[in-house]
Amino acid sequence: MELAFLSGKGGTGKSSICSAFISVAKNVIAVDCDVDAANLYLIFPPKNTIETKYISGKNAIIHQDKCIECGLCKELCQFDAINIVEGKFEIDAVSCDGCALCYRKCPTKAIEMVDSDDSKLYFGDFRNGSIIYGRLSPGEENSGKFISVVRSLAREKSKELGIENIIIDGPPGIGCPFMSTITGVDKVVVVTEPSMSGLVDLKRTIDVAQSFMEEIYVIINKYDLNPEVTNQIKEYCLENNIEIIAFLPFDKEVVDAMINGQTIIEYNSESDISNRIREAYQIIFKS
Amino acid sequence: MNIAIASGKGGTGKTFVSTNLFKTFQSLGHSTLLVDCDVECPNSLLFFNLKKLSETKVEEYRPIIDKDKCVYCGLCHEYCEYKAIFYVPELKQIMLLDNLCHGCKACSVACEYGAIEDSSTEIGSVSFFADANKHVFVEGRLKEGKIASIPIIKETIKEAVSLPYDYVILDSSPGTSCPFIQTAVRSDYIVLVAEPTPFGLSDLKQSVETLDSINKDYGVIINRSGLGDIEVYNYLQENNIPIIAEIPFSKEIARYYSEGKLAVSHIEETKKLFEKICKKIIKNGTSIS
């Protein structure tokens, strides 16, 4: 089974709760799909790591010696990626989407498409199984595509190693990386917190998620910080037929565990939070 | 001066800093605009009582394939780098896979038979709001189910910076890749909001790496100080990165935030702290430009 943790809003405690689930699972493939800012490996440092290059896409470059300054590339580009700098046509790598239209149409073949290969894919063993994560090179686009690569590697390894369950720590937001994470997973847990922004983002996340799947669950983290908003979240979930599988209290120990390089389950197995997480785990994996 | 409030990790307090900073800039008499660039999950406007003034739709190019004119040559399919044109010539099947399309128009340029009509699809919006004091706010918003946040971020900032304000505060989306960099490149100064935890440090390092790659000036606000450890401080000191301020962890601040209220309007200490932050940012930002 593939389970993904998502949140819409960042910083709701997605990675902390996801890593606690991984601790409960014991033998599992852990996947970090937040390729912009991967964190899971900090708690689960892998051994025997295999690092592979990932070509995240292509970028256009202009060879000035061949450019006749006709301006066709600039005219065709839908991404405003071609600028005239001191009389020369130049490509702004940040805006370039890699569509290659300029490359195909340049009358003097002055444009070349080059691979962006600074992104890395990591695979290794950790204390509860195997971990896969990616590191998109700074400012790179196409994180959605990268995430599908990370996920297909996870599935391959799951078959190869005979480890049935895959637990995914997802990216924040509801755009491209979110879509790539949610496509084809069996269940989703949305981690939220009781604040006005948390509630708004939860609704937006669930609205989009519901068009992909049925098995959506919610965990309210730090539910005791604002009981009023917690009630609003409860009402919203009830109306939309979404089961809340845990109410987790605010607890400084979660941060202490992280600093210790442990999950809350490992740090204090008998704490209230740990018990609640184990109960939530049972609901997800036994139903 | 355009000031981006950013962080690699989500939930470090970008929106908290943006909204309270905006309020502080204004109360100190500066003409300031608040812009929500977190188009996937915009929520900085929740903290103000606003009326919508207008909304501009953001559209992206889409081809419409005319099957009567199509000769199934496959050139559009070949031109499409995103595999967004599903094409099986044996079965005379051709169609656009909308969610893979980036709107680059290559298919349309490729087609020699006039079988592709140029069209567009709505992917989001840029909205303008005002409060009772006629202060203006701008918000970019990705349409639910759409994936292309970049064009909306670009459009939002373009609209915002064309307005006559001395200071524009850009509440950025989390991450270190595209959406973040789009906001950063359009800013004069970047405020990174970081948490003093191992996750916070790892994400801060990535944000710094990205900002260094585009040569931007920045400073760090440490949020929820007192929670966590000293590693973030060590890192900043070793790399000579200025700390703009530390905002101590407080349940009271968290409570106001969760209710959609501004801490600077309710806690005297926080108000004073933000006034200091405001002055420091103006000083840091101006010394650069």
Asked if the C-beta of A10 comes within 8 angstroms of chain B's C-beta atoms, the answer is yes
For residue range B236-249, list pLDDT tens digits in order. 999 999 999 999 99
Write down the pLDDT at residue B286: 74
Mean pLDDT of A175-189: 93
Mean pLDDT of A50-64: 91
Domains and CATH numbers, chain A: 2-55+119-286 (3.40.50.300), 58-116 (3.30.70.20)
Whether residue A138 is predicted with pLDDT greater than 60 in this model: the reply is yes
Rounded to a whole number of angstroms, the distance from the CA of A46 to the nearest CA of chain B is 16
Question: Which residue in chain A is spatially nearest to B232 when comparing CA positions?
Answer: A259
* Maximum CA extent, chain A: 72
Asked if the C-beta of A193 comes within 8 angstroms of chain B's C-beta atoms, the answer is yes
Each domain of chain B, given as residue ranges in start order, spans 2-48+131-288, 59-122
Question: Which residue in chain A is spatially nearest to B106 when comparing CA positions?
Answer: A101
- What is the interface size between A and B, counted as CB pairs within 8 Å? 189
Mean pLDDT of B114-142: 94
| CB-closest option in B148, B176, B198 to A138 | B176
Contact A204 B61 (CB under 8 A): no
For residue range B14-47, list pLDDT tens digits in order. 999 999 999 999 999 999 999 999 999 898 999 9
Write down the pLDDT at residue B287: 64
Rounded to a whole number of angstroms, the distance from the CA of B206 to the nearest CA of chain A is 7
Mean pLDDT of A32-42: 90
Rounded to a whole number of angstroms, the distance from the CA of B145 to the nearest CA of chain A is 6
Asked if the C-beta of A37 comes within 8 angstroms of chain B's C-beta atoms, the answer is yes
ipTM comes to 0.85
Q: What percent of chain B has pLDDT over 90?
A: 79
CA angle, residues B233, B239, B244, in degrees to nearest 5? 55
Best to test chain A binding among B81, B101, B190 (most A CBs inside 10 Å): B81
Does domain B2-48+131-288 match CATH 3.40.225.10?
A: no
Contact A9 B9 (CB under 8 A): no
For strands A119-126 and A111-116, give the pairing.
Answer: unpaired
Whether residue A50 is predicted with pLDDT greater than 50 in this model: the reply is yes
Mean pLDDT, rounded, of chain B: 93
Contact B40 A261 (CB under 8 A): no
Whether residue B178 is predicted with pLDDT greater than 80 in this model: the reply is no
Q: How far is CA A198 from CA A88, A193, A241, B68, B218, in A?
A: 47, 5, 19, 49, 28
Mean pLDDT of A261-281: 97
Question: Which residue in chain B is spatially nearest to A144 when comparing CA positions?
Answer: B147
Contact A176 B147 (CB under 8 A): yes
Whether residue A254 is predicted with pLDDT greater than 60 in this model: the reply is yes
Does domain B59-122 match CATH 3.40.250.10?
A: no
Whether residue B131 is predicted with pLDDT greater than 80 in this model: the reply is yes
Contact B170, B3 (CB under 8 A): yes
Asked if the C-beta of A118 comes within 8 angstroms of chain B's C-beta atoms, the answer is no
Contact B106 A171 (CB under 8 A): no
Mean pLDDT of A245-263: 95
Whether residue A139 is predicted with pLDDT greater than 70 in this model: the reply is no
- Cα separation, A170 vs A179, in Å, equals 10
Tell me the β-bridge partners of B139. Answer: B36, B127
Best to test chain B binding among A73, A99, A208 (most B CBs inside 10 Å): A99
Whether residue B185 is predicted with pLDDT greater than 80 in this model: the reply is yes
User: Residue B256: what residue type?
Assistant: Y
For residue range B134-170, list pLDDT tens digits in order. 888 999 999 998 888 889 999 999 999 999 999 999 9
Whether residue B175 is predicted with pLDDT greater than 80 in this model: the reply is no
For strands A129-135 and A119-126, give the pairing.
Answer: antiparallel
Mean pLDDT of B170-175: 88
Q: Tell whether the torsion through CA atoms of B158, B160, B163 and B164 is positive or negative.
A: negative
- Cα separation, A96 vs B128, in Å, equals 28
Contact B81 A201 (CB under 8 A): no
Tell which wins on pLDDT, A103 or B229.
Answer: A103
Judged by average pLDDT, the poorest of A99-103, A142-146, A205-209 is: A142-146
Write down the pLDDT at residue B215: 86
Write down the pLDDT at residue B289: 43
For residue range B254-285, list pLDDT tens digits in order. 999 999 999 999 999 999 999 999 999 998 87
Name every chain B residue with its beta carbon within 8 A of the beta carbon of A200.
41, 43, 46
